[in-house]
Structure 1
Amino acid sequence: MSTSRSPSVIFDLDGTLVDSEPNYYEAGRRLLAQHGVPDFTWEHHTRFIGIGTRETLEILRGEYGIEAPVDELLAGKNRNYLELARASTEVFPEMRKFVELLHSKGVPMAVASGSSRAAIEVVMAGTGLDAFIPTVVSAEEVAQGKPEPDIFLDAARRLGTGPGDCVVLEDAPPGAAAAHAAGMRCIAIPYVPATADDPAFRAAELLFAGGQGEFTARAAYDWLVAQRVSPTDIRMTPRAD
């Protein structure tokens, strides 16, 4: 009897598991308006999808000449976002099916997100995803955010497995690049259709170029099963305390 098993799965959160980008956009728009920037558009926001909140605010602070410290801006955006997230956050339907299917099969899962831990916990609890994915890592907890691999490597460590035994689901090029930098395979589901041709997505082992409208739980699971690994192929790494 074969002892091979499916790889562990690490999910990005925003734009991959949940459609939180509208809330992040509105949180940022309100914040910038408070600091004298009245014309921050959705198009401007899409430039930063997949980049950590702190890194985004550092860039915007420079572009718009905002004098407030980054920590103050970060706290303000988080307050705005948490208010919006508590009111409404939607899980992509096929993603919920995928998570529930993986859970029923005993596949280890984690969330690795550029959001704050507070934001992650609010969204996970509010959507019920925390019942299926108890392991979460925030960009606040690692040295460098995406496209650096730190957050995915930390997620693998917490799952007690090696990078080569992990598959990452991502909606943005920086996240896909981070997955490959970590030595992990990637399922890419572009949130912004125009980014589907990005080299980071083209390098993905499985690409749903049409985004969430093309993604199905069954197709992703069937592909994942085909990636089964033997215990002899897994390099275990210590669990984090």
Structure 2
Amino acid sequence: MSTSRTRTAVIFDLDGTLVDSEPNYYEAGRRLLERYGVTDFTWERHTDFIGIGTRETLEILKEEYGIDAPIEELLAGKNRHYLELARAATEVFPEMRTLVERLHAEGVPMAVASGSSRAAIEAVLGGTGLDAYLTTLVSAEDVERGKPAPDVFLEAARRLGVEPARCVVLEDAPPGAAAATAARMRCIAVPYVPETVDDPAFGGAGLLLLRGGQAEFTARAAYDFVMAARR
């Protein structure tokens, strides 16, 4: 029988990895900043924060634009906008859904570890039906430090009862890949932003880099990588 020392677990980042939620996050951020008089927040600027937690992102933008509002007010405002958008429509990457369904059918332990709030994670998983397969969730609210610190991944491994070295992480952004490396976990990197493919964080040992992003990702190849980690 498998034990926590021998079985392999899979930990998914959510935004940009399992689902294409970045357009919703951008629009939520744009609406929020517009309320405080910021009208020049672009998609290109948004991509600088992909893979970074919502709190950390807003702390940077608060200082950059000289916004006087408390960070908790900004967090609540962005979450409100995002949840409205996420519930209306969030796209799951098809090959990712296939991978989740196959791993679930074979009893592979899985978790979602994200820099988003628990409410945002639950809204996306519930709206897409992924909550039928992914029930172990770790949000930014559950740990002290966000990515690139390894905290969310280590907490996910703890909740799954699997040693970090037996975990495979799927990530789309350099901070997440760096967090996986810091946690001593293998990683499948599926860059969301093409310009980040040469980031040093995507060059770590035990990391499979799919330079073509989601266009190159297949459930079969990812499954094979996960199974190889069992040996």
Q: Same fold (TM over 0.5)?
A: yes
Question: What CA deviation, in whole Å up to 9, does each residue of 1:113-153 have, x standing for no partner?
Answer: 00000000000111011101110000111000000011110
Correspondence for 1:71: 72
Q: Which amino acid aligns with 1:216?
A: T
Runs of 5+ consecutive residues of structure 1 not aligned to the other structure: 230-241
Distance in 1, Cα, partners of 2:7 & 2:187: 14
Matched, 1:16 2:25: no
Give the alignment of 1:56-135 within 5 angstroms.
Answer: 56-135=57-136
SS of residue matched to 2:41: coil
Distance in 1, Cα, partners of 2:11 & 2:226: 12
Aligned 8 A contact 2:8 2:162 in 1:
no
Give the alignment of 1:163-174 within 5 angstroms.
Answer: 163-174=164-175
Aligned 8 A contact 1:6 1:224 in 2:
no
Q: Which amino acid aligns with 2:133?
A: F
Q: Which amino acid aligns with 2:224?
A: D
Give the alignment of 1:223-234 within 5 angstroms.
Answer: 223-229=225-231
Q: Mark the CA change 1:43 to 1:106 in structure 2 (over 3 Å): closer, same or farther.
A: same
Aligned 8 A contact 2:145 2:151 in 1:
yes
Return 27-36 or 198-207, whichever deviates more.
198-207
SS of residue matched to 1:147: coil
Q: TM-score, normalised by structure 2?
A: 0.96
Distance in 2, Cα, partners of 1:96 & 1:5: 25
Question: What CA deviation, in whole Å up to 9, does each residue of 1:66-107 have, x standing for no partner?
Answer: 011111000000000000000000100000000001111111
Q: Which amino acid aligns with 2:24?
A: N
Distance in 1, Cα, partners of 2:142 & 2:225: 31
Distance in 1, Cα, partners of 2:147 & 2:58: 15
Correspondence for 2:224: 222
Q: Which amino acid aligns with 2:208?
A: L
Correspondence for 2:160: 159
Give the alignment of 1:190-205 within 5 angstroms.
Answer: 190-203=191-204, 205=207
Distance in 1, Cα, partners of 2:120 & 2:84: 10
Distance in 1, Cα, partners of 2:176 & 2:216: 19
C-alpha deviation, 1:2, in angstroms: 10
Question: What CA deviation, in whole Å up to 9, does each residue of 1:17-67 have, x standing for no partner?
Answer: 000000000000000000010010000000000000000000000000001
Alignment length, in residue pairs?
229
Q: Which residue of 205, 208, 212 corresponds with 1:206? A: 208
- Quote the RMSD (CA, aligned, Å): 1.6
Identity %: 75
Runs of 5+ consecutive residues of structure 2 not aligned to the other structure: none
